[in-house]
Amino acid sequence: MSTRGHGIRNCAALLVVLLTFAWAAPLHAYVGPGAGFAFLSSFLTLISVFVVAFLSLLAWPFRFVYWLIKGRKAYARSKIDKLVIVGLDGMDPDLAERFMAQGKLPNLSKLREEGFFGRLRTTTPSISPVAWSSFMTGANPSKHNIFDFLNRDPRTYLPGLSSARIGNAKRVLSFGGYRIPLSKPEIRGMRKSVPFWKILGDHGIFSTVLRVPITFPPERFKGHLLSGMCAPDLKGSQGTFSFYSSNAERVGKMEAGVGIPVGVVDRQVKTRISGPANTLRNNAAEMHLPLTVTLSPDGETATLDVDGQVLRLRKGELSRWVRLAFRPGLGIKLWCVCRFLVSSIKPDFEMYVSPLNIDPERPALPISHPFYYSVYLAKLLGSYVTLGLANDTWALNEGALSEDAFLELAYAHHSDWEKIFFNALEKTTRGTVVCVFETTDSIQHMFFRYLDEDHPALKSGDGRRRPEIIEDLYRRMDEMIGRVRQKLDDRSMLMVMSDHGFKSFRRGVNLNTWLAQNGYMALLDGNSQTGEWFRGVDWSNTKAYALGLGGIYLNLKGREAQGTVAPGAEAAWLKKEIADKLSALVDGECGRRAINKVSDRDSIYSGPYKENSPDLIVGYSEGYRASWESVKGVAGPAVFADNCKPWSGDHCIDADIVPGVLFCSAKLRCQDPCIWDIAPTALDLFGVPIPAHMDGRSLVTEEPVAMSEGGAPQ
């Protein structure tokens, strides 16, 4: 974006924020997993926003002159004016090639013909937060500290989210029934190393970064950022939906989400919406909002009355975003947005309520940089989804959403993201625009079974095969890329990429069961199984345990609380023994090897955070993945089990089997490109030196980049 454009836009956005907070009802609160509310820190945050906004307005003419001069110098060595990176999470090269060969992806085909197309090597393990962290930092996982969605606390063996830590305020004033925080709660990102847009910003290059995973909490840099994957909902979770049903059996079977039994009396359902825990109160009880649903006599419509709002919905109709406020006390309101869908009225009443998204107009947590950026977008474009894992895959797994309802919701989210992305694309004349769309990932997770005639999940359900869902997904993304190309000129470069590919997930492998059966994990009191998160494990006699989607940890002395394995030769011998045995593991039902290879972290990592990695990383064969139980630290009755859930495709397997894609509008110098090559390439394009800590290398040629024509979508 030009300096003048930045100034005008920032000025307008700051005025919007000043007006917003001038009429906003009581102060925003701060909530996170276990953190509760920080009245004082929220108050100081808002005061800071006012002060910064006012000072920015006063200083704007001077800043304009400064950035005008610095901007000219910043772009003096650039090969291009603008770099646009579109991340299509999980786009698979095999499927892309198939659909291009069939003439179904004309815009991506044109990119391939005029510029570049190749397979993009991904990280080990091939898990989204790991891969996207390497994308932004140009480094392998042992340099950015993200190895899975989950990591474990060696003191307790319990899991935590790998991307961020949110903790309680250390100083609290007790007053009556209240606990008032006097200091800020901890909110700390766990990803290390430096994103390339921060380095670009230090050299005067502006970036807009949208929905890139592992960008919560947002970091300061010269640009705008909206957080992506791992940004929480208002309850501090990674997405907790609610499902209301008059059929008690339906809600009783819920593994995820919150199942709420209700009754229908005189065509009315009286219930409530569960909010976050109110840790301003001594008892930290969960807050609620009353909800009344009145059903029409013909069973076709429902009228919802919640938080002073009346909403009339047809059966099966997805509502607009509805803004709700929870009131913990002391004049505070905590805002969220959610959507409703009444899926059935007769014979049973059933209703889905989406996770309570942090309201982008009144954010209770920092979800953007600057703080006002989410407010600006909401005022300009309307409310939108802010949850990191936005598409509610578990609601479809649990039957709280139908396939069609899931698709409608997923594409509604995608539409929100497109509006935000194209707004940034239009307003950024120079610099970088990066946007990651999770649509491709979540839809493939849930519908890959329709591309696999032998998938166990096809044995249940209505028996329909709908392979057109995946094809339609790829066509939609191709059409969007065509519209992107229309917005670009010959001084712009477009990259379209994915962090990994996809394969069918037919069978689950329970590593904890295998470890127990082979004498590496001991159980208490002669038990043959454990509960979730290792409940029932005898740590004093355990040598190894598995947690997450592909990691095995040794119970190491001096590291784990009850370690039994000596570091050094004993640990090295044990890792080799487990790796050799697992590499030969055969699924007795079909005679196939379940695991391609097992990697010792000491042989693949050398960075400063290697010690936080699992000791062994399991690379599953095609068709296999860690079982649902194994991910949660359960040792069940069997090592192998069919995967009968709608979540039927996955990528958490051997990284060599699931490379991503890389399209580019320019010719690239490529020999086996890797996902951590993108960051140094971005720096090189703008003439910025590549730091020595980056593992990647630039993919551009030494000569000025030859751009292909934008071309209209076909």
How confident is the model over 42-71, as pLDDT tens digits? Answer: 444 444 555 555 555 565 565 555 555 556
- C-alpha angle 428-662-377 in degrees, rounded to nearest 5: 30
pLDDT value of residue 462:
57
> How do residues 571-612 score in pLDDT, each as one tens digit?
999 999 999 999 999 999 999 999 999 999 999 999 999 999
For 576-614, the DSSP string reads HHHHHHHHT-EETTTTEESEEEEEEHHHH--STTGGGS-
Instruction: Give the pLDDT band (50/70/90) at residue 186.
Output: confident
Given a cut of 70, whether residue 428 has pLDDT beyond it is: yes
Q: How far are the Cα atoms of 225, 415, 471, 663, 713 from residue 478, in angstroms, in the given order? A: 25, 15, 11, 12, 9
pLDDT value of residue 283:
75
Given a cut of 80, whether residue 486 has pLDDT beyond it is: yes
Q: How far apart are CA 109 and CA 250, in angstroms?
A: 46
Q: How far apart are CA 166 and CA 186, in angstroms?
A: 5
Given a cut of 80, whether residue 454 has pLDDT beyond it is: yes
Helix, strand or coil for residue 413?
helix
Least confident of 69-78, 466-475, 536-545, 705-714: 705-714
Burial class, 669, CB count within 10 angstroms (exposed 0-12 / middle 13-18 / buried 19+): middle
Q: How far apart are CA 501 and CA 98, in angstroms?
A: 14
Cα-flanking dihedrals φ and ψ of residue 158, to 5°? -95, 155
Instruction: Give the pLDDT band (50/70/90) at residue 427.
Output: very high
Q: How far apart are CA 457 and CA 156, in angstroms?
A: 36
Q: How far apart are CA 280 and CA 330, in angstroms?
A: 9
pLDDT value of residue 525:
86
Residue 590: both structure tokens together: 């079909």
Total residue count of the chain as it appears in this document:
714
Q: How far apart are CA 713 and CA 567, in angstroms?
A: 59
- C-alpha angle 614-617-623 in degrees, rounded to nearest 5: 140
The counts of H helices and E strands in the chain are: 18, 35
Rg of the chain, C-alpha, whole Å: 26
Helix, strand or coil for residue 281?
strand
Least confident of 29-38, 421-430, 578-587: 29-38
Given a cut of 60, whether residue 29 has pLDDT beyond it is: no
Amino acid symbol at 350: E
Instruction: Give the pLDDT band (50/70/90) at residue 184.
Output: confident
Q: How far apart are CA 692 and CA 138, in angstroms?
A: 10
Cα-flanking dihedrals φ and ψ of residue 413, to 5°? -60, -45
Amino acid symbol at 509: V
End-to-end CA distance of the chain: 28
More confident residue, 7 or 632: 632
Taking residues 567-571, what's their average pLDDT? 97
pLDDT value of residue 465:
73
pLDDT value of residue 618:
98
What are the residues whose beta carbons fall under 8 Å from the beta carbon of 627, sequence distance 6 or more?
Answer: 508, 509, 510, 636, 641, 643
Q: How far apart are CA 307 and CA 325, in angstroms?
A: 7
pLDDT value of residue 169:
73
Given a cut of 90, whether residue 385 has pLDDT beyond it is: yes
> How do residues 262-283 score in pLDDT, each as one tens digit?
999 999 999 999 999 887 877 7
Burial class, 540, CB count within 10 angstroms (exposed 0-12 / middle 13-18 / buried 19+): exposed
More confident residue, 704 or 214: 214
321 closest CA partner among 376, 410, 383? 383
Given a cut of 60, whether residue 20 has pLDDT beyond it is: no
Residue 136: both structure tokens together: 């932004």
Q: How far apart are CA 158 and CA 433, in angstroms?
A: 38
Residue 708: both structure tokens together: 């292909």
Least confident of 142-146, 182-186, 692-696: 182-186
What are the residues whose beta carbons fall under 8 Å from the beta carbon of 481, sequence distance 6 or more?
Answer: 86, 107, 108, 111, 494, 496, 713
What are the residues whose beta carbons fall under 8 Å from the beta carbon of 464, sequence distance 6 or more?
Answer: none
**Residue 176 region, left (φ>0) first, then alpha (ψ -120 to 50), else beta?**
left
pLDDT value of residue 702:
59
Instruction: Give the pLDDT band (50/70/90) at residue 709.
Output: very low
Q: How far apart are CA 216 and CA 388, in angstroms?
A: 9
- Whole-model pTM: value is 0.89
Taking residues 523-544, what's their average pLDDT? 93
How many alpha carbons lie under 13 Å from residue 549 in its C-beta half-sphere? Answer: 23
Given a cut of 50, whether residue 121 has pLDDT beyond it is: yes
